[in-house]
Structure 1
Amino acid sequence: MKQVIEIIARCAEGTCVSRPFRVRADDGSLYWIKGMGTGWNRNELCYELLCAKLAAELELPVAGFDVLEVPEALLEFCAVPGIRDLSAGPAFGSLYVDDASSLLPVEVSSVPQELRWQILLFDWWVQNEDRTLGEKGGNVNLLWNPVGRALTIIDHNNAFDPEFNDVAFFEHHVFREKRSRIPAPFLLEQKQRFGNMAGHLDDLIKAFPDEWVEQDERPGDFAPETVRAILSRFDRLLDVFGGQA
């Protein structure tokens, strides 16, 4: 497992709810990390890792990711404000993306149409309402590089939301206007891919850190059976999206 060797800063207040830490790992790369400690439930770390794996298998442009070890000694002498919110142990690391910033409303139409379809379907499948954007802003969790015209998807700790609401999702998702415009052949292809991955959930989660999946009978516990039930939603894809022939 890669180790964190330097904790550089914390995400500024008001930029995102989870406020991850920017760090350097022993491979020389910069990451944003979320770990065990105040503000993060262990199940959210599992959701981050699982969604990153699912997105990568679907060939969505998810930021590079890894599980990084945060040494106790590094925390002991760290002067970064808020460091007490981070605990030693395994953390979810999302690779720092250069020359990219949060997608703006005026840039939405620059995202390739098929990619917009894919992200909308993916977020609905994993019950992720945390990809909102309107004229007054939102929490889009998409990074855009205007020069390279490259999109990167990030932040899935709020996926598998037990209070997920289809109506709210289709009112606020950044790509909501694509709901009834996705061709039926594309929906069928995605339904098959979702189904294949749902059937291999055990393989996807078997390497999760023990510290994240241990059962203490508290709200922060990761529940594979709940995730399995949510991923079975793939079977409703055509009914919900009503693709065009």
Structure 2
Amino acid sequence: MAAAFNLPVAPFCVGEVDPNLIRYGPPELADLGSGYVFASQVVDNVLELAWSHVGAVGVTTRRDLVVFDYWVHNQDRTLTELGGNPNLLWEPTGKDLIVIDHNQAFDDTFDNTTFFQTHVFAQSWNDVYQDFFDRPRYEHRMRVALERFEDVCDRMPESWLIVDDGVPGGLQPDHARAMLMEFSQDNFWDQR
């Protein structure tokens, strides 16, 4: 979804961790588990985004990311002057941002207040709210990304949808789609 929304994500694919790697590998890999995994390509010469670099990130990128994370209910991109976990990589030479880690998307415990207090680019939300042209542009991008949603869900490994013995996992495509459709409600776009 992030790629379909045109966020600057690291190249990625679905990988597979062999059970023997877990069984016979170093103990610190045991928590990884075996089976299908989401794998991002290593990006050289990057740092975790620091609070001191936030202002160097382009205005459009900041807006894009706060809108996307709010849309998918991803509350796991936190950074304030006190620290946090932005799940963003910064390439200082080219001043490029790389978006990683969306494993908290579609969170049922998502809290608007917490999101807008802790999201690294929360201050950019009201810029979107105040820009008459931004809302229709973002709504269009959301519709384009939603066109890919069914295909993305169909290509996901089934093991990602099941916890154990047929018990549904954290991501339920129908529930996620309903969550994504919230952008069509006026209150989605309210000032914060």
- Determine helix, strand or coil for the equivalent of 2:120: coil
Residue correspondence of structure 1 range 55-74 to structure 2 within 5 A: 55-74=2-21
| Shift, 1:82, TM fit | 2.0
Sequence identity (%): 36
Contact 1:102–1:142 (CA<8 Å) still a contact in 2?
yes
Partner of 1:77: 24
Partner of 2:132: 184
In structure 2, relative to structure 1, the CA distance for the partners of 1:221 and 1:115 (3 Å cut) is closer
Partner of 1:10: none
Partner of 1:169: 115
Contact 1:187–1:238 (CA<8 Å) still a contact in 2?
no
In structure 2, relative to structure 1, the CA distance for the partners of 1:159 and 1:186 (3 Å cut) is same
- Determine helix, strand or coil for the equivalent of 2:159: helix
CA distance in 2 between counterparts of 1:211 and 1:192 reads 32
Partner of 2:185: 236
1:138 aligns with one of 81, 84, 98: 84
| Shift, 1:108, TM fit | 0.5
RMSD: 2.0
2:142 aligns with one of 194, 218, 224: 194
Q: Residue type of the partner of 2:24? A: F
TM-score (norm 1): 0.70
Unaligned runs of 5+ in 2: none
| Shift, 1:89, TM fit | 1.8
CA distance in 2 between counterparts of 1:106 and 1:67 reads 33
Partner of 2:106: 160
Partner of 1:95: 41
Contact 2:51–2:79 (CA<8 Å) still a contact in 1?
yes
Contact 1:90–1:209 (CA<8 Å) still a contact in 2?
yes
| Shift, 1:201, TM fit | 2.2
| Shift, 1:219, TM fit | 6.0
CA distance in 2 between counterparts of 1:237 and 1:59 reads 23
In structure 2, relative to structure 1, the CA distance for the partners of 1:241 and 1:115 (3 Å cut) is farther
Aligned length: 188
CA distance in 2 between counterparts of 1:126 and 1:88 reads 27
Identify the range of structure 1 (124-133 vs 200-209) with the bigger mean alpha-carbon deviation.
200-209
TM-score (norm 2): 0.88
Partner of 1:32: none
| Shift, 1:237, TM fit | 6.3
Identify the range of structure 1 (86-95 vs 141-150) with the bigger mean alpha-carbon deviation.
86-95
| Shift, 1:145, TM fit | 1.1
CA distance in 2 between counterparts of 1:223 and 1:58 reads 20
Identify the range of structure 1 (169-178 vs 84-93) with the bigger mean alpha-carbon deviation.
84-93
- Determine helix, strand or coil for the equivalent of 2:78: coil
Partner of 1:227: 176
The runs of 4+ residues in structure 1 deviating greater than 6 Å are none
| Shift, 1:239, TM fit | 5.2
Contact 1:70–1:91 (CA<8 Å) still a contact in 2?
yes
CA distance in 2 between counterparts of 1:223 and 1:139 reads 25
- Determine helix, strand or coil for the equivalent of 1:57: coil
- Determine helix, strand or coil for the equivalent of 1:83: helix
